Amino acid sequence: MTEISQQAEPPVKSLFESDLRTRRRNAAETRFRLYGMAAVAMGIFALIFLLVSVLGNGVSSFRQTSIELQVTLDEAVLDKTGSRDPEVMKKVTTIGYGKILDQALADTLAAHDIDVSALTPKQLSGMKSDEAPRRLRDLVLADPSLVGQTITFHALATSRIDGFEKGRVTMESAKLDSNISVEQLEVAQAMKDKGLLSMPFNWGFFTSADASELRPEAAGVGVAMLGSLYMMLIVLVLSLPIGVAASIYLEELAPQNRWTDIIEVNIANLAAVPAIVYGILALALFINFLGLPQSAPMVGGLVLTLMTLPTIIIATRAALKAVPPSIRDAALGVGASRMQTIFHHVLPLAMPGILTGTILGLARALGESAPLLLIGMVAFVKDYPSAPPAGLMEPASALPVQVYQWTQRADPAFVERASGAIIVLLVFLVAMNATAILLRRRFERRW
C-alpha cells in the first residue's frame, strides 16, 4: 500500500478546462448545428415565399365585384304567354335578359345622377359581365313567380371593373386596353362612390365551370374540383384493394426467389417513372387501343391509379414488414391459418401505415397534371359531368390542369384565378397530408 502511494502521481487534470480534442469536437458540433439551421431556414423561406406569392395573387379571386341593380322583370319580354311555365320561358335567351339588364343599368345610373353621356350604349352595356344575363335567367327560370316584379340583383361586373376595384386596373392601363376605356372607369368610380359596387364572397368561383378568354370574371373551379374528385374516387377504389392485395401476396405468400426479386425491383422502378410517361402509356392503351373517350375522369383515374399503385405497394409492404414476426408466430402457434394470421393480426397492425401511404399517394395523384394533359384533359369543359357512373365517361377538367390552362391565358385576370385554384388545390393537399399524419399519430404502433 505505502509503496504504491509513494509513486509519482499523474498531474491533476482540470475538469474546468477542455483540452484541444474536446474543443475541436465541440467546434465541429457547433458548425454542423449551423449548417442544419441554415438548411431549415432556407426551406422555411422558400415555403413562406411560395405561400405569400400564391396567397397574394390568389386570395382576391374569392371575392368578386358586382353591381347592385334594380331590375324590373318585364312580363312582356320574359313570359309573353303569361303561363309562368319554365319550359315555355326557356325560349327567351340570355340576349333578352341582357336587354333587361342594360335597361336596369341605365335606370339605376340615372336614379343615382351618374352621368353616362360619355359612354356609347355598347360601353355602358359592357360594364356588366356577359355572364350576368345568364345568371339572371337561371334565377328567373328557377323561380318564375319573380316575373313582373322589380328585384334587387347583383350583376357580375366585367373583369376590368373587378380589376379596377382590386387595384389591378388603373386609368393608365385603361388607356392602352381595348377592353375598357377611361370613361367607363370614371363611371365605375362614380358607382363606387354611390355604393353601387360591392365585393361579396365569390361562390361562383367554386360552383362555376371554366369560362372563355373574354369572361375571366365568370370562370370557376367547380368542374375541375368535381373532375378531380371523380378521379380520386377511381384511384382510391382501384389502387387501394389492388395495391394491398399485391403487397400481401408479395410480402406474406409468395416464395422469396429470383422472380419476386425482379418484381420488387420493377415496382420500385415504376414508382420512379416520370408521370408524363404514364400519360403516354394511357394515351396508347386506354384511348388509342381501348377507345375510351378523351378528357374523361375514367381515363384520368385509370392512369393516376397506375401511377399511384407502386407508391401504395411500397408503403404497404413496408407496413407489413414492420409488423413483428413474433405476432405471426403467435397466431400460427395457436393454429391460425395463414389467411387468418394476415387478416386478424398482421393487416390491422399494418393499417395505419397502409392508409398513410395511400393518402400520400392520392395527394400526389391529385396534384398531377402531366399525364392528364396527354389524355386530353386540357379541353375546355363548360358543363358539369353527370353523376357517376355515367359521368365518369363525360368530359371533365382537373384542378392542376385548370391551373395550367389559366396560367396560359393572356388576360391578367386569369393569373388571379390560377392562384385561387392553386390555393384550393393546396388546401386539399394539406388536408390530406394532415389526415395522414393524424392517422399515424392516432394508431401509433402499440406492441
Partner 1 sequence: MNLMQTPVSDTTALKPRITASGVQVYYDTNHALKDVSVNILDRTTTAFIGPSGCGKSTFLRCLNRMNDTVASARVEGKILLDGQDIYDKRVDPVQLRARIGMVFQKPNPFPKSIYDNVAYGPRIHGLARNKAELDEIVETSLRRAALWNEVKDRLSAPGTGLSGGQQQRLCIARAVATGPEVLLMDEPCSALDPIATAQVEALIDELREQYSVVIVTHSMQQAARVSQKTAFFHLGNLVEYGDTQQIFTNPQDPRTESYITGRIG
The residues that touch partner 1, with contacts defined as CB under 8 A, are: 255-256, 324, 326-337, 340, 344-345, 349, 446-447
Distance CA 395, CA 351 (A): 35
Determine how many CB atoms are found less than 10 A away from the CB of residue 257.
Answer: 8
The residue (of 332 and 393) whose beta carbon lies closer to partner 1 is 332
The residue (of 299 and 323) whose beta carbon lies closer to partner 1 is 323
The residue (of 233 and 351) whose beta carbon lies closer to partner 1 is 351
CB neighbour burial string for 138-154, b if at least 16 within 10 angstroms, e if fewer: eebeeebebbeeeeebb
The residue (of 142 and 334) whose beta carbon lies closer to partner 1 is 334
Length of the chain in terms of residues written: 447
The residue (of 11 and 325) whose beta carbon lies closer to partner 1 is 325
CA-based R_g, the chain, Å: 32
Helix (H, G, I), strand (E, B) or coil at 153: strand
Output the nine-digit C-alpha cell for 273.
417513372
Distance CA 442, CA 115 (A): 65
> Which of these, 318, 310, 313, lies nearest to 350 by C-alpha position?
318
What is the closest distance, in whole angstroms, from the C-beta atom of residue 33 to partner 1 in the complex?
38
What is the closest distance, in whole angstroms, from the C-beta atom of residue 166 to partner 1 in the complex?
56
What is the closest distance, in whole angstroms, from the C-beta atom of residue 277 to partner 1 in the complex?
35
Output the nine-digit C-alpha cell for 66.
358586382
CB distance 74 to 99 below 8 Å: no
Helix (H, G, I), strand (E, B) or coil at 154: strand
What is the closest distance, in whole angstroms, from the C-beta atom of residue 244 to partner 1 in the complex?
20
Distance CA 445, CA 447 (A): 6
What is the closest distance, in whole angstroms, from the C-beta atom of residue 343 to partner 1 in the complex?
11
Distance CA 69, CA 420 (A): 28
What is the closest distance, in whole angstroms, from the C-beta atom of residue 264 to partner 1 in the complex?
15
What is the closest distance, in whole angstroms, from the C-beta atom of residue 236 to partner 1 in the complex?
27
* Maximum distance among all Cα pairs of the chain, rounded to whole angstroms: 129
The residue (of 349 and 432) whose beta carbon lies closer to partner 1 is 349
The residue (of 347 and 362) whose beta carbon lies closer to partner 1 is 347
Helix (H, G, I), strand (E, B) or coil at 118: coil
Distance CA 427, CA 440 (A): 20
What is the closest distance, in whole angstroms, from the C-beta atom of residue 351 to partner 1 in the complex?
12
CB distance 439 to 363 below 8 Å: no
The residue (of 171 and 253) whose beta carbon lies closer to partner 1 is 253
What is the closest distance, in whole angstroms, from the C-beta atom of residue 335 to partner 1 in the complex?
3
The residue (of 241 and 333) whose beta carbon lies closer to partner 1 is 333
Which residue bears the cell 392512369? 303
